[in-house]
């Protein structure tokens, strides 16, 4: 079965640089979530999109932005990178149920290292 | 706000031992509850879920029952294997009408199974 695809899998950047992370959801899934997992931490919700519109926002820095495109893939843009942005970034996709019940399926993550 | 608390790890067991990982939650209404597993260097995989009180989720020998009266969702397995060594995350989402679909994770419990 098709899974969530994330690219790149690994990324090394310098401070103050910019990074773009991409996420390709499972076909026919209409919702994408982004999470950040610091070393030894639990994943923290950043932002989500439903049918190409932002649906919820969590602890996402103003330096970050994201969008979902017409083909449902999503990109997380990170500018002015800081050392503390080094983390594993997960994308998850889901299909909204009638009652809002849904199961999120996670991609393998992008490991970002900021030097 | 909503939150999830898991027992601290690491948990070290011998093969074929009984496993319990405690998880309690705080939420308004009736959230959906999940267990995700993260193997070393990999993404999050859904292990099991329950969407309403008294539901039992089960998969690969793991079980968890949604207990509204004790706000708990403890993970159990009767006989663990070395291949079960991983980090286990308890998570909740919703209720959708006021919390959306984002997942809130516990801090994770590392399980190490020795032969």
Q: What is the pLDDT of residue B96?
A: 63
- Interchain proximity A106–B45, CB inside 8 Å: yes
The average pLDDT across A98-110 equals: 81
- Interchain proximity B102–A96, CB inside 8 Å: no
pLDDT of B8 higher than 90? no
Residue count of chain A: 115
The H or E element that residue B23 is part of is strand B23-26
Residues in chain B closer than 8 A to A44 (CB atoms): 105
Phi, psi of A84 (to 5 degrees): -70, -10
B65 vs B73: CA distance, rounded Å: 6
3-state class of B99 per DSSP?
helix
Q: What is the pLDDT of residue A65?
A: 96
- Interchain proximity B102–A94, CB inside 8 Å: no
Question: pLDDT higher for B86 or B95?
Answer: B86
A85 Cα distance to chain centroid:
13
- Work out the pLDDT band at B57, boundaries 50, 70, 90: very high
Q: What is the pLDDT of residue B98?
A: 61
pLDDT tens string A30-64 = 899 999 999 889 999 999 998 889 989 998 999 99
The average pLDDT across B72-79 equals: 98
pLDDT of B25 higher than 70? yes
Residues in chain A closer than 8 A to B102 (CB atoms): 33, 45, 48, 56, 58
pLDDT tens string A78-101 = 999 999 999 999 999 998 765 556
pLDDT of A111 higher than 60? yes
Q: What is the pLDDT of residue A99?
A: 57
B111 vs A19: CA distance, rounded Å: 34
Residues A78-93 as b/e (b if ≥16 CB within 10 A, e otherwise) read beebeeebbbbbbbbb
Residue B69 touches chain A, beta carbons under 8 Å: no
Please check whether residue B62 is in contact with residue B76, taking contact to mean a CB–CB distance below 8 angstroms.
yes
The H or E element that residue B96 is part of is helix B96-99
CA–CA distance from A71 to each of A51, A54, B21, B46, B69 (Å)? 10, 15, 40, 25, 43
The average pLDDT across B11-34 equals: 94
pLDDT of B99 higher than 70? no
Q: Which of A24-38, B74-88, B98-112 has the lowest mean pLDDT?
A: B98-112
pLDDT of A1 higher than 80? no
Question: What 3 state SS string does chain A have?
Answer: CCCCEEECCEEEECCCCCEEEEEECCCCCCEEEEEEECCCCCCEEEEEEECCEEEEECCCCCCEEEEECCCCCEEEEECCCCHHHCEEEEEEEECCCCCCCCCCEECCCEEEEEC
pLDDT of B95 higher than 80? no
Residue with tokens 């809002």: A100
The residue of chain A nearest to residue B48, with distances taken between CA atoms, is: A103
The per-residue pLDDT of chain B, averaged, comes to: 92
B45 vs B72: CA distance, rounded Å: 21
């Amino acid at each position: 079965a098709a899974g969530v695809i994330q690219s790149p899998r690994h990324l090394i950047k310098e401070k103050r640089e910019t990074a773009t992370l991409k996420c390709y959801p499972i076909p026919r899934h209409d919702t994408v979530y982004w999470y950040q997992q610091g070393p030894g931490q639990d994943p923290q919700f950043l932002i989500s999109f439903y049918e190409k519109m932002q649906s919820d926002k969590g602890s996402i820095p103003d330096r970050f932005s994201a969008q979902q495109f017409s083909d449902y893939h999503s990109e997380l843009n990170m500018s002015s990178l800081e050392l503390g942005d080094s983390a594993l970034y997960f994308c998850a996709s889901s299909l909204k149920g009638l009652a809002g019940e849904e199961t999120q399926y996670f991609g393998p993550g992008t490991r970002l290292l900021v030097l | 706000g909503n939150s999830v608390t898991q027992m601290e790890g690491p948990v070290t067991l011998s093969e074929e031992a009984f496993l319990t990982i405690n998880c309690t939650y705080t939420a308004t209404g009736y959230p959906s509850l999940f267990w995700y597993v993260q193997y070393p260097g990999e993404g999050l995989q859904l292990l099991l879920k329950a969407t309403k009180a008294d539901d039992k989720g089960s998969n690969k020998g793991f079980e968890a029952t949604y207990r509204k009266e004790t706000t708990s969702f403890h993970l159990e397995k009767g006989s663990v294997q070395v291949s079960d060594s991983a980090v286990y995350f308890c998570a909740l989402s919703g209720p959708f009408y006021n919390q959306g679909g984002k997942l809130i994770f516990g801090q994770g419990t590392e399980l190490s199974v020795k032969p």
